[in-house]
Amino acid sequence: MTDFATIDRLIDQADNILLTTHENPDGDGLGCLSAMYHYLTDQHKECRIFCPSPLPSEYEFLPYADQIIHYNPDSHRKTVAKSDLVLVFDVGDYSRLRQLGEAVVEDNLTTVNIDHHVQTKTGKFDYDLINLESAATGEILFDYFKPKYDGLLPTEIAVGIYTAVLTDTGSFRYSNTNPRCHEVAIACMQAGIQPHKIYQQVYESNSVPKMKLLGLILNSLQFAGNGELAWFVIDQEMLASAAAAKTDVDGFTDFIRTIRGVEVALMLFQNGSHTCRINFRSKGKYKIHGVAQYFGGGGHPFAAGAVIKRPLDQVSDTVVAETIKAMRDQQDG
């Protein structure tokens, strides 16, 4: 396990620093990218941000959002090769860096992973700074930046850090919310952020197609395990009939979990003809990262997911059955 002093040294020695986070990025990973970009350019470092997925529109408000580039090997491969340090945020599973991760391995670049997930495969990064107690990777970055700015963060950094903690705690509501999250929020407010504006950008910018897709989901919602499991399928037909985008599915699993009596919500999303994405959210009675790991994914005890490289109709029954089984095993145990 590495420490902040080591990260300082690595940054000090580097001239071209690459920043990235996982595919289907969330507010935590993106907030960290934004905050770190500010810090590094402040330190007069050459810095680039490449992401394995496009930037979701609700995060376009982040400082330096225009610098968050969707990685494309054809145009960006040479820039990766020129980097001498890669800072990775919020990645518990190296494969979630997709082609960018492959390029980094090919070029034998020095990698640092700053994260709060259980690591599905260890030893993939040169340096790991993991704190499983942190509600968000942004909370770890807050601790990193705080002494550098004598406690008063630049507003640009505070926006990213606050967004990270806000989104990973579901607006300070999930079971991972701890006193530190609120300390971070206080410090970010003292730094001049406007929480209501960030909230509106992140949570009140749903598109009409996204809401139409939600309607289709609600109409086809299924229950199992004495009503404790609510699960739903999103196939390409539903996506097309709502005119929704792939990124529109984010957040639905959290919403379905809000139903009274539901302990676990499960999404089965056909995100290609031969792949599907599954998402688990638990209220806290059942841990669901084990079943996510069973399908090759990972995450946190109460929020996890996986990508399965098989057609949806071949996996849906198995995923539902394994989820029910995992819940039942925990009842017995």
Residues that bind Mn ion (CB under 5 A): 28, 90, 137, 168
Could you tell me the smallest distance in angstroms from the CB atom of residue 220 to Mn ion? 30
Could you tell me the smallest distance in angstroms from the CB atom of residue 15 to Mn ion? 29
- What angle is formed at CA 45 by the lines to CA 168 and CA 101, rounded to 5 degrees? 55
CB atoms within 10 A of CB 207: 16
Could you tell me the smallest distance in angstroms from the CB atom of residue 315 to Mn ion? 26
Residues in the chain: 333
Nearer to Mn ion, 114 or 158 (CB): 114
Could you tell me the smallest distance in angstroms from the CB atom of residue 271 to Mn ion? 21
Could you tell me the smallest distance in angstroms from the CB atom of residue 115 to Mn ion? 7
Residue with nearest beta carbon to Mn ion? 28
Nearer to Mn ion, 115 or 263 (CB): 115
Nearer to Mn ion, 135 or 193 (CB): 135
Nearer to Mn ion, 214 or 303 (CB): 303
Q: Strand pairing partners for 231?
A: 222, 266
Nearer to Mn ion, 166 or 233 (CB): 166
Q: Are 83 and 53 in contact (CB under 8 A)?
A: no
Q: Strand pairing partners for 46?
A: 16
Could you tell me the smallest distance in angstroms from the CB atom of residue 312 to Mn ion? 27
CA distance 320 to 223: 10
**Angle between helix 155-168 and 195-203 (nearest 10):** 50
DSSP assignment of 138-176 equals HHHHHHHHGGGGTT---HHHHHHHHHHHHHHTTTTTSTT
Nearer to Mn ion, 282 or 316 (CB): 282
Identify the CA nearest to 183 among candidates 146, 131, 156: 146
CA distance 238 to 257: 21
Burial 98-107 (b: 16+ CB within 10 A, else e): ebbbebbeee
Q: Residue 322 carries which side chain, given as an amino acid letter?
A: E
Could you tell me the smallest distance in angstroms from the CB atom of residue 129 to Mn ion? 14
Nearer to Mn ion, 91 or 244 (CB): 91
